Amino acid sequence: MAPAGEAEAEETPQVYDGEPLIKAAKDLKDEGNVSVKQKKYKEAVEKYERGIAILDKADGFPMLRQEVEEMVALKAVLYGNVAQCMLSQELYRRALDAASSCLSLDKDNVKALHRRSLAREALKEYAGALEDAERLQRLGGGSLGAEEVERRVQLMRGKKEAVDKVKAEADAESEDEVDTELVRMKQRFDEVVEKYDLRQGNAAEEVADWLTAGEWLVTIKRVAQRWKMEDQDAEDFLKWIAKGLEFQVQNAANQAQANSAAPAASLAS
């Protein structure tokens, strides 16, 4: 049996020395910064990403709290620098991703917020760009002046509202097109009914029964033969009946959903 002192030493986990990793990552950050000044953005990104990879090597190892905090802060800076390089290269999606990685480590990093807002604007994601700009404003704007941040917030709000307006108009136009198509379908159905003198008959009910029974395949040809219609008339006749059944099914589903969502009646007096 090992002496008590040796047993305690074996049970105590060895603390990983993160200082060499921190130093190596800082050196790469400094080299990357030199590349940025020379406008060698691709080269700078390579250095920053190598620094991140080095810091990742410490994941899962027990370390001093101070070193952990220093690593997290350094990794956030490196991701933020990558975001700036991607913006400079107009690689906006990658800039957005890098800025988001920075913010996952440092949620109040004003530089990363501004860079992500710029990337989102370039990608025409104005809602997100506005959200980042407003958050930046709440945090004081960092190196940006209050007036500059306010101008950006207003600019993004204007762009978002313009997009929302266009989308709303497009949605309304689409609904109008659907309504117009339904009116046209009903008109054609009425014309066919009149043309073949089906008003007093039960043709529509019979076709509806065919469609719901599922006993045979309901085709345009079958409908045309049954009521001696032209193929185009049979097609338009069948379309409206099928649409009516579709409405019934949808209405039934909506009613069932409403009933399930309604609160149960109270039995208390």
Q: Are 157 and 125 in contact (CB under 8 A)?
A: no
pLDDT in tens, the chain (269 residues): 455 555 444 555 676 777 999 999 999 999 999 999 999 999 999 999 999 999 999 888 888 899 999 999 999 999 999 999 999 999 999 999 999 999 999 999 999 999 999 999 999 999 999 999 999 999 998 888 889 999 999 999 999 999 888 888 777 766 666 678 888 888 888 888 888 877 666 766 766 676 666 655 678 888 888 778 898 988 888 888 788 778 777 777 777 777 776 554 444 43
- Whether the CA torsion 45, 51, 52, 57 is positive or negative: it is positive
Q: Are 25 and 57 in contact (CB under 8 A)?
A: no
Give all domains of the chain, ordered by start, each with its CATH number: 18-106 (1.25.40.10), 169-254 (no CATH)
Provide the 3-class DSSP secondary structure of residue 63. Answer: coil
Q: What is the Cα–Cα distance from 183 to 171, expressed in whole angstroms?
A: 19
- Residue 100 tokens read as 């988001």
- Residue 147 tokens read as 């007036």
Tell me the helix, strand and coil percentages in the chain, rounded to 5: 75, 0, 25
